[in-house]
Amino acid sequence: MTQRGAPDREVPPAAPLMGDPGPTGRFGEFGGRFVPESLVPACLELEAAFRDAWGDPSFRAELDGILHSFGGRPTPVTECVRLSGELGVRVLLKREDLAHTGSHKINNVVGQGLLARRMGKHRLIAETGAGQHGVATATAAALFGMDCVVYMGEVDTRRQELNVFRMELLGAEVRPVSSGSRTLKDAVNEALRDWVASVGDTHYCLGSVMGPHPYPWMVRELQRVVGDEAREQCRTLLGGRDPDVVVACAGGGSNAAGTFAGFADRTASALVGVEAAGGAALTVGVPGVLHGMRSILMQDEEGQILEAESISAGLDYPGIGPEHAHLAAIGRARYESAGDEEVVEAFGRLARSEGIIPALESAHALAWVLRAAGTPALPTGSTVLVTLSGRGDKDVGQVRDILRATTSGSRR
């Protein structure tokens, strides 16, 4: 209705939350496409190809079929009976740890692999931190018969040695990156450099909801399956209700974005993203541009990117995807952080009380649940859904070393 006397103009309908950001790839003041001129055509080509594929029922059907028969979807939602009893809060887990290759990363790479094939590219490149995205990309490359190169910070190749070997077994070449902090941020830089030089035959299979448009939108859409499945599974379990709180860990933010996409517009569930305390862009960061996107980043006064520092390689990133910055800015999601010690505690607690060893990344979301249970953020009697983004096999050696160092330190 127009007010009397006010100009009679149409009010544009509010854009749906977590919908299509349009050709500019903007989420409020965040997102965009900040790339060298040589990459602009590649980003435009990718956006056009994804729009076309995503609107094509045969592409969607093929993707769904592979995610089912090869990827293990749908993953279940598990009720944590003992932990719920201990916390006084009903805890449900969305089990991405049970997906093929051990994490949610497979959802994104199968989609991008299919898209690369449709675009006539025969080489996949990727960056990886914890190695899970690298393993998933190597897996998709093997499945589709493509060449594969994975960039990984030198520090991460050491702490995730087993995943390096896994990628090699799958036929990928792993290139250690020795610049900067020798972690995820530097691996993204190298992958972007490779892409500039090889864009004719190569698809850059970016692993999270970050980077230049269309990646944050495309990767969120490819991960949306997590949230869509979880919402329906929760409604079945909870007699048609939605969980009061939905929690996911956030590095770049893809498992959180995929999860939130199922709930943001359709439910009143509170959404909580949990970053590593040493990489908590949304707690200590400020707006800036990195890796082709405008988002919230950890920077010093001169705008230099600060080093992230976390035991979990997958969350060791000084920024976060631009849509999360927007969800935080408009208050639809809130972002917390968890420290290394409480994460190791949460890792062991889930193992002992539920028989599930989580990835260190996912243990950040659990650590927040343990801390928040019984407080106004997660009141006694409420229901919380946690996306368990991955399994902890890759982290068992690292946690063993941490626990051994702690016990030998306390004996001294």
Ligand X SMILES: Cc1ncc(COP(=O)(O)O)c(C=O)c1O
Contact positions vs ligand X (CB under 6 A):
103, 129-130, 132-133, 208, 249-255, 314-315, 359, 361-362, 389-390
> How many Å apart are CA 136 and CA 116, to the nearest integer?
15
CB of 222 to ligand X, least distance (A): 11
Q: To the nearest 5 percent, what fractions of the chain are helix, strand and coil?
A: 50, 20, 35
Which one from 43, 100, 104, 324 is the annotated catalytic residue?
A: 104
Residue 297: helix, strand or coil by DSSP? strand
The reply to whether 80 belongs to the active site is: yes
End-to-end Cα distance, the chain: 74
CB of 163 to ligand X, least distance (A): 9
* 194-213 CB burial, b ≥16 within 10 A, e <16: bbeebbeebbbbbbbbbbbb
Q: Of 199 and 282, which has the nearer Cβ to ligand X?
A: 282
CB of 338 to ligand X, least distance (A): 13
Which one from 43, 80, 148, 205 is the annotated catalytic residue?
A: 80
Q: Of 73 and 133, which has the nearer Cβ to ligand X?
A: 133
CB of 314 to ligand X, least distance (A): 3
What are the counts of helices (DSSP H) followed by strands (DSSP E) for the chain?
15, 14
> How many Å apart are CA 313 and CA 130, to the nearest integer?
5
Q: Do 141 and 171 meet the contact criterion of CB atoms below 8 Å apart?
A: yes
CB of 258 to ligand X, least distance (A): 8
Q: Of 199 and 217, which has the nearer Cβ to ligand X?
A: 217
In sequence order, what are the residues at sequence separation of 6 or more whose Cβ sits closer than 8 angstroms to the Cβ of residue 347? 357, 358, 360, 363, 366, 392, 395, 399
Q: Do 214 and 288 meet the contact criterion of CB atoms below 8 Å apart?
A: no
Q: Please give the distance of CA 179 from its chain centroid, rounded to a whole number.
A: 24
> 404: exposed, middle or buried (C-beta count within 10 Å: 0-12, 13-18, 19+)?
exposed
Q: Of 181 and 208, which has the nearer Cβ to ligand X?
A: 208
CB of 96 to ligand X, least distance (A): 7
Q: Of 33 and 220, which has the nearer Cβ to ligand X?
A: 220
> How many Å apart are CA 364 and CA 1, to the nearest integer?
47
Q: Of 74 and 279, which has the nearer Cβ to ligand X?
A: 279
The reply to whether 43 belongs to the active site is: no
As annotated, the active-site residues are 80, 104
